[in-house]
Chain A
Amino acid sequence: MIVNRLIEKAMRKAQGAQASLEQSESTDVSFENDKLKSVKSSQSTRMGVKVILDGKIGLSHTTDSDDVDGVVARALEAAEFGSPAHFRFPGPQDGPDVKVFDDAVLSVTKEKMVRIGEEMIGLVKEYKSDILLSAGVDKSAGRSQFANSAGTEYTTEATAFGVWVNGQLIRGTDILWAGHGFGWKKREIDHVEIAENAIELFKMAENIAPIRSGIMPVIFAPQGVNVLLLALTLGFNGKNVFLGSSPIAGKLGEKIADERFSITDNPLLDYAIASGKYDGEGVPHCTTPLIEQGVAKNFLYDLDTAGRSGTKTTGNGVDCHPTTLVIKEGDTPYEEMVKNIREGLIVHDVLGLGQGNPISGEFSVNVLLGYKIENGEVVGRVKDVMLAGNTYEAIKNISAIGDKAEWAGGSLLTPPIGIAKLSVVTK
């Protein structure tokens, strides 16, 4: 295997080494302005090397398969001035069982992918012919090899499949965007359901409902929950905790959210985009509760950050990023969450997330797709509305959590979440 050759070369000088080789083939069918626009096929190869030389880390990667000597030499060169290593490469460990490969993806033809896109566009057009649509269907299959100088060695084969449709409806200078999509490692995606979801969003948006500025209850639909999650993703990142930039550093064991709120990092869900037996450092994946019944439980670590922090890796290498986040279901049906609000907002999609100072928990976003609730009913969509608040205050101020979790994109599984009070600003 190439990875063993890379390790062997690196170990002539280094005291530890890790190597990876990723190869994949993918196909991407793309529709723009109601019609098939392009079909793209991609072949990719990438080799990466990480070494520890005299206690310091060096990195390099390449996409040129003739660059085996070069990639090792550059990693060794970088290690001369590298950052000190606070870990050792892990020896072989058994990873948990998780499904990441589906044969059915391989046999999907370009023609079939085109038909899936055409059908989705056809369905939305049937609802309203002047919605202008774009859509995409993609699939990939890849193989990755990993090895390190401590004897860890494995090969993984994985597949992926994804489908999305997005519409634009223009009336005068009013532009409405709505859409839906999903991707995972399995072929099985009901594209008709995805189109129907998109249609539902357009249906609810037929009227524009005026809204006033003020403090009001807000329901984040699963697709909108990422507004709240961005700060948590940064705050639970072990590196930010170590460096002190996380506002929840030092707060493990403290109650930081409503007791109905629980969130877990879970890389073991079959076929989820981020699922797999091992993380990027050859460490077996495991589930890690971040918040349990409102109490902060764990931060996410990779090998080096765990070493610096005097703790153990959670298998979130490299860089302490979450894999799939799962928020625990509550006990309120969605319909009831809406019914209980006299005047409020449902948020599906926003503009401007992550601008400003996201790690502090502050957010101030433009509601791209959101709906007004009046007397327990959705009366139409809102326009020209800013939503502002702080994640850490909001999760203490939860009014209800939906009783059904849904995928929002490919790496978040969440029920709708109601926040009792947030600030809404409009003209």
Chain B
Amino acid sequence: MRERMEKALRKSNAEYTEIRIENVASSWANFRGEELDKIGSSRTLGGIVRALVKGGWGYATFNDLDAIEDRVKEACESARLVGKEQSKLAEVEPVVDEITATLEKDFRQVSLSEKKSVIEQYNKIILGYNDKIETSNVGYRDSFRKVWYWNSEGTFIKDERPDVGVVISATAREGDNVQQGFESHAGSSGFQIIEGLGKKAEAAAKRAVDLLSAPPVTGGEYTVIMNPKLAGVFAHEAFGHLSESDFVYENERMKELMVLGKCLGSNILNIIDDGTIPGLRGTHKYDDEGVKTRKNYLIKDGILAGRLHSRETAAKMGEQPTGNARAIGYQYQPIVRMTNTYIDKGDATFQDMIRDVGLGLYAIDMVGGQTSMEMFTFSAAYGYMVRDGKIAELVRDVVLTGNVFQILMNIDKMGDTVECPPAGGGCGKGGQSPLPVGFGGPHVRIQNVVVGGR
């Protein structure tokens, strides 16, 4: 294949050309209620050509590898139709590298029946929890992605990207009141990470049942303490997306808003994106343009310190490439994405955070988040009211929302321990979803957060 692709690449008459081929083997199993709902496996083989002419991009995606030379030609023609200015790509040293994934327990060697029996066990724990449990949804999935990457500057990378995870959800019901408890666990180090999660299944069931008798949180403005998992989503959603340079590089007003050195948050706030942390889901040695990943400070002591780049955005903004051009699969071109994003630790203990809170909210875990740059909204899985410095009753339907620029300034206490939970799910942008990302942080306290609710 290598020879055929390199030959096709030489046929290109564009200024820059690359080919990425992927071969993905995946399998899945899913219980809903008593019965197995689905089980199966699939294979995906496909690729994308990307060509650059006078600043214009042409892409061609395909499943039929035999027609690769036609696809290269097609991408070049498209690029030529688009290009009207000067091409700019940040300089990167060409590399030739082969990466082999190391799996403690290789899920490709695990039979479908064993995969099924692991989640069957979690499913039984949920359904047997108590009679308020109405149903369950427990899913397993894995994928082993082999990626071959060539570009016209001489880079060749062969990478292996394993991902395995379970999603555990319990539904409890009392009349019309239906509540859910979620847990997820995912990572790249092998099948063993999703074994022995009986406690998580039980936690999901317990939460669903407990939430039946929890009142919805009363809408209003609160002092909010986020747990590490929620703080991680906050870092990702509320700020991370703003630091993606494709939103900035050709947008004069956004450039003013996001000028490096500007104070954007309280001085105890540090946000970092780091694609090199072993075991996290956003970790790769190279991004999908063959650029090495690295640790990037986005906010340092409250000051905007950096942003995430593709080779194009880096060149156009006169900054260094950061290794953040990622694609979810062969059908897509790489775009600027986060890897593992986290808030760095401060010095407050949990007691320090709640001690002086009269009425507040302790918001825990997350079930989703979305942002429009300026505005964000994300949903905690559940929460506890904080009353007179103490954790009080459980509440449900906790949705936090606000204006990013205001909220970052309102952070007034930072916990002393960072956790990066091995959660599943992923990030969506530009029609590319879900992209595996990592996130984390310490407990974070924020003043005056709008909490939705009735």
A positions within 8 Å CB-CB of B: 32-46, 57-65, 67, 70-71, 74-75, 77-78, 80-84, 110-111, 114, 130, 132, 168, 170, 173-175, 177, 213, 239, 242-245, 247, 308, 351-352, 354-357, 359-360, 362, 364-366, 368, 384, 386-389, 392, 423, 425-427
Contacts and interface: CB of A to CB of B under 8 A. Distances in A.
A227 B229 CA distance: 27
Contacts of B135: 243-245
24 contacts: A38-B56, A38-B58, A38-B59, A39-B58, A39-B59, A40-B60, A62-B43, A63-B43, A63-B44, A63-B46, A64-B44, A77-B112, A82-B39, A110-B78, A170-B253, A173-B257, A213-B219, A352-B401, A355-B367, A355-B370, A355-B379, A356-B397, A365-B452, A386-B452
A366 B176 CA distance: 25
B189 interface: no
A368 B82 CA distance: 32
B49 to A, nearest CB: 10
A384 B450 contact: yes
Given A244-B134, A384-B375, A425 B368 contact: no
Question: What 4 pairs between A and B have smallest CB-CB spacing?
Answer: A355-B368, A59-B40, A352-B377, A355-B379
A357 B64 CA distance: 42
B397 A357 contact: yes
Given A244-B134, A388-B453, A40 B374 contact: no
Interface of B: 29, 32-33, 35-46, 56-64, 67, 71, 74-75, 78-79, 81-82, 84, 112-113, 116, 134-135, 171, 173, 176-180, 216, 219-221, 246, 250-251, 253-254, 257, 331, 333, 367-379, 396-397, 399, 401-403, 405, 450-454
A357 B396 contact: yes
A321 to B, nearest CB: 14
Contacts of A36: 56, 82, 84
A135 to B, nearest CB: 14
B448 to A, nearest CB: 8
A132 B403 contact: no
Given A43-B62, A173-B405, A386-B452, A355 B43 contact: no
B452 A368 contact: no
B45 A170 contact: no
A33 B251 CA distance: 7
Contacts of B176: 247, 392
Contacts of B220: 213, 425
Most buried by B among A239, A351, A365: A351
Contact of B379 (A40, A84, A352): A352
Contacts of A427: 221, 450
Given A40-B78, A45-B64, A64 B219 contact: no
A43 B71 CA distance: 9
Nearest to B37: A83
A83 B36 CA distance: 5
Contacts of A352: 368-370, 377-379, 399, 401
Contacts of B396: 357
A110 B62 CA distance: 18
Contact of A386 (B46, B79, B401): B401
A388 B219 contact: yes
Contact of B40 (A74, A242, A392): A74
B379 A70 contact: no
Given A81-B112, A352-B370, A111 B401 contact: no
